[in-house]
Structure 1
Amino acid sequence: MIENGPGTEIAMNRRDFLASTATIPCAFLQTAQHVTHVDTVRDGAPLKSSVVKGQDLPAVGDSPGARAKVHFNGPTSQLAAVASGVVTLEPGSRPHPPHRHPEEELVIVTEGTGEIEIDGVPTQVKAGDMMYAEANVLHGITNTGSTMMTFYFTKMLGKNAG
């Protein structure tokens, strides 16, 4: 929630917040505000058991060198929301600056090398490595290698989570 004068607040998601910072002078920003991020969908019918073919999925996001494809996104019979997909990063790119969100998140690196930061602690990663970030823990990923980096993500929000 963002305060909008005494006693009033407005709701704002991460994408809206990042877009609203576009007017901040460049001296305060280290990087452009391009973001490749997948917000979990909490509304609609629960996801059903199925197979999604990845090759025909559209890429989402506008962060240079970062493209995400979303396989599943929505509520389930047991979760308020789950979002899962794959992200490719060109050398030197990242999908967004380190961030935090109410969902727990798993990341599996399947190609390339990079750095995952959790709560300010960077760790070098390569294919076969996996990250778990608890809800609201600061985390981020960057391709620090010289080849493409690919990782799969799954974000989960329990029905009783805030």
Structure 2
Amino acid sequence: MENLTRRDLCVALSAFAAMGGVVAEGQGNASREAPASSTGAAEPVLTHSEIFAFDKLPIHASANGGQSRAVIQGRLATGEFVEVHETALPPGQMPHPPHRHTHSEFLLIREGRLEATSDGKTGIVEPGGIIFTASGVLHSLKNVGDVMANYFVVAIGVQKAIV
């Protein structure tokens, strides 16, 4: 399968944005103000379009030898919370132990070979593949390849761990 290009990613993110608009239409006249987060602070409302240069994104080093780049987070004008980041995961590593959270997420695989386990089912995902994890589902990820795995995460919904 081909590597996921920046153009493919832009098309995928545009589709996600369009899906949010369809959901918002079904919500009627819901408030457009940003609700408070779990810390009590209002989430930023994302009202302006923006272009992100990958090489300009801040890099955060991870304890497992990988790194992540935060892209954007906040509440869309249609009400959904969204967070996007890119992760580089070294061979043999997991980004974190198996877990659950309230938000749903899409992982768009750019490079590498990942083993994804979700709701008791395991599969291999390679470049160009996409993983969807629904809210509340126990899931995990591991780089089973011999090169760094790179993937984007698009999280939609309330950002809260489920214990």
TM-score (norm 1): 0.66
Find the aligned partners of 1:47 and 1:94 in 2 and give their Cα distance: 34
Matches for 1:5-154 after TM superposition, within 5 Å: 43-60=43-60, 62-154=62-154
Displacement of 1:128: 1.4
Displacement of 1:44: 2.3
What per-residue deviation string (whole Å, max 9, x for no partner) do you get for residues 85-118 of structure 1?
2111111112111211111100111111120110
Which structure has more relative contact order (CA 8 Å, sep 6+)? It is 2
Residue segments in structure 1 that go unaligned for 5+ positions in a row: 1-40
Displacement of 1:42: 6.3
CA RMSD of aligned residues (A): 1.9
Q: Is the contact between residue 63 and residue 95 of structure 1 (CA under 8 Å) also seen in structure 2?
A: no
Find the aligned partners of 2:96 and 2:60 in 1 and give their Cα distance: 13
Q: Is the contact between residue 66 and residue 94 of structure 1 (CA under 8 Å) also seen in structure 2?
A: no
Q: Is the contact between residue 107 and residue 131 of structure 1 (CA under 8 Å) also seen in structure 2?
A: yes
Identity of matched residues, %: 25
What per-residue deviation string (whole Å, max 9, x for no partner) do you get for residues 26-59 of structure 1?
xxxxxxxxxxxxxxx9612335211111112222
Displacement of 1:138: 1.2
TM-score (norm 2): 0.66
What per-residue deviation string (whole Å, max 9, x for no partner) do you get for residues 5-43 of structure 1?
xxxxxxxxxxxxxxxxxxxxxxxxxxxxxxxxxxxx961
Equivalent position amino acid for 1:136 in 2: G
Find the aligned partners of 1:140 and 1:91 in 2 and give their Cα distance: 15
